[in-house]
Amino acid sequence: GAGVSQTPSNKVTEKGKYVELRCDPISGHTALYWYRQSLGQGPEFLIYFQGTGAADDSGLPNDRFFAVRPEGSVSTLKIQRTERGDSAVYLCASSLDGFGKNIQYFGAGTRLSVL
Amino acid sequence: DQQVKQNSPSLSVQEGRISILNCDYTNSMFDYFLWYKKYPAEGPTFLISISSIKDKNEDGRFTVFLNKSAKHLSLHIVPSQPGDSAVYFCAASAYSGGGADGLTFGKGTHLIIQP
């Protein structure tokens, strides 16, 4: 595809529910990143995949958050037992290989609202 | 503890004049710096970057300056155009043995170009 695609663009859920957010990176990009952007803040790093493996998950806030990338392309961010504080825009980015010049290309994000 | 700081939440500049956006960082391990531009309801778009081995990088109307001793960088836009009105994020990256870390972003500066 031409760019990073994220679905859904908006997700409204109730407190306590489980949600999955999907990211389809730029074709050929081996590095994939998830970020969370709260109102008035810059994007905050969550997790980084190099191929199929999570190279760095130090940004995940707690064990309710989990992400997978089983075939090294599409990734899913999973949030269990959602809380109102999880409401934010979740951004996905990809880069060619994550080494050297780390130019990351972002999708439009998924706006998650937990009621 | 913010490692990347953009101390001006907003900046208003007249069309045709120079826009200067500033960014400070605290982490000496950062070795690559990027500026992203963001319109409402879109993901951040890569604008320009600079490696820590350089002190200036220019691309058309956009120039980024890096002062490593002061841990400061700035983005110059000249001449400013109405389409430049957006939120600008400064971001930094540190290379580790396993690949680049996730980007660390500032809170952003909302640039408004006045006609």
For residues B15 and B112, the answer to whether their CB atoms sit within 8 Å is no
Work out how many CB contacts closer than 8 A connect A with B: 77
Cβ distance A43 to B105 less than 8 Å, yes or no, reads: yes
Chain A positions with Cβ closer than 8 Å to B = 4, 6, 31, 33, 35, 40-48, 50, 55-56, 59, 91, 93, 95, 97-109
Question: What's the gap in Å between the CA of A99 and the closest CA on chain B?
Answer: 5
Which positions ≥6 away from B9 have C-beta within 8 Å?
B107, B108, B109, B110
Task: With CA atoms as reference, report the closest residue to B90 among B25, B42, B27, B41.
Answer: B25
Tell me which chain A residues have a C-beta less than 8 angstroms from the C-beta of B7: none
pLDDT for B96 beyond 90:
no
Give the pLDDT confidence of A66-106 residue by residue, as tens digits: 999 999 999 999 999 999 999 999 999 999 876 666 789 99
* Dihedrals phi, psi of B31, to nearest 5 degrees: -130, 5
pLDDT of residue A2: 80
Inter-CA distances, B109 with A94, B42, B47, Å? 24, 16, 14
Sign of CA dihedral B29, B31, B37, B40: negative
pLDDT for the residue B82: 96
The predicted structure's pLDDT at residue B105: 96
Residue B63 CB neighbour total at 10 angstroms: 18
Nearest CB to A42 within list B32, B43, B106: B106
Q: How does pLDDT run across A14-61, given as a tens digit for each residue?
A: 999 999 999 999 999 999 999 999 999 999 999 999 888 888 899 999
B95 or B5, which is more confident? B5
